Amino acid sequence: MDAVKTYRYLRVAMIGMVVLLGAALLHEWWATGWRCLQPSVSAYYYTPARGVLVGSLVVVGVCLVVIKGNTVWEDILLNLGGAVTPLIALVPTPYPGPCRSVPMEVSDTPANVANNVSALLVLGLGGNVITIVVARRALRPGQRLEPAVRFGVLAMVVLYVAVLIVFFAARSLFLDYAHYAAALVLFVCMVAVVTINAWAYGRQRAEGAVPSPSDYANGYAAVAVVMVGSLLLMLGWRALFGWDHAVLWVEGVLVGCFAVFWALQTRELWGQGVRAPVR
C-alpha cells in the first residue's frame, strides 16, 4: 500500500507542477497586458516567471524518470522524456521575445548553461551507471536482458553521449538548438505514451476478447487525437497564413493535454499504482 501511495504522490506532484507553471505564466500575462504574449512558453524564461518555469520543468523531469510505466516501452518513453526535460529548462530558447512586465535582466546565458548542463551531465552519468548495474544485478545466472530493456538502456546511453559530445565539441550549436531538440524528443515521447495507453486500455476493456473499435474509443485515445490534430492544425495554419504565437499555443495545448492524460491515468490507477499486464 505504501508503494501505491508513492505512485499517487508522484502523479499528483506532476499535475501540481503544470498548475504552478500555468499560474506563473498567467500572472506574467496579466502584468504585461492581455495583448502582449511571448512567442513561446520557453520565452517566458526571460520574464519574472523564470524561476517557476525552470523549477517546474526540472521537477517534472525527475518525476517522469522516477515513476514506473505500465509497460517496458512506456517506461522507456517516460525515462527519455524525463531525461531531456531539464535540458528544456536549463538551456533557454535563444529568442527572448518582446513581452515582459519588467525590463529584461541581463545575464550571461552561455555561462549559466555551462554551469547547469555540466552539473546535469554529472547526474546523468551517475544515473546511467546505476541503471546498468541495477539491471544486471536483477538477472539470474545465464539470463540476458530482454530486448526492450536493452533498447531502453542503450537509448539512454546514446542520448547521454550525444549531449556530452555536442555540449563540449560544438557549444554554439548546443546553445542554438539543444532546447528545441529536447522539446521535440519530449513531445514525441508524450504523444507515444498517450497512444500506448489508449491501446492498452482498449485491450483491457475487451476483457480477453478481440478488441472492437469501441474499446479503443476511450479517454486516452481522445487525448491522443487532440494532441496530434491540434499540432497539425496549428502548424499548418502557421505555414499557410503566418502566426507569431503558434509555438506558444502548440506548447500550451500539448502540455495541457498531457496533464489531462496524467489526470485520467491517475484516476484509473489510483488504487493499484500500475495497470495489470495486457494479454
Full pLDDT tens readout for the chain, 279 residues: 677 888 888 899 999 999 999 999 999 999 998 889 999 999 999 999 999 999 999 999 999 999 988 889 999 999 999 999 999 999 999 989 999 999 887 678 999 999 999 999 999 999 999 988 888 887 777 778 788 888 999 999 999 999 999 999 999 999 999 999 999 999 999 999 999 999 888 887 766 666 677 777 889 999 999 999 999 999 899 999 888 889 899 999 999 999 999 999 999 889 888 877 765
Q: 74, 197 in Cβ contact below 8 A?
A: yes
Q: What distance in Å separates the CA atoms of residue 33 and residue 22, rounded to the nearest whole number? A: 16
Ranges of each domain in the chain: 2-268
The radius of gyration of the chain from alpha carbons, rounded to an integer in Å, stands at: 20
Does the model's pTM come out above 0.85?
yes
Match 529568442 to its residue by C-alpha cell: 95
Residue 144: predicted pLDDT = 82
Judging by beta carbons within 10 Å of its beta carbon (0-12, 13-18, 19+), is residue 186 exposed, middle or buried?
buried
Q: Single out the residue of 63, 51, 91, 83 nearest to residue 7, CA to CA.
A: 63
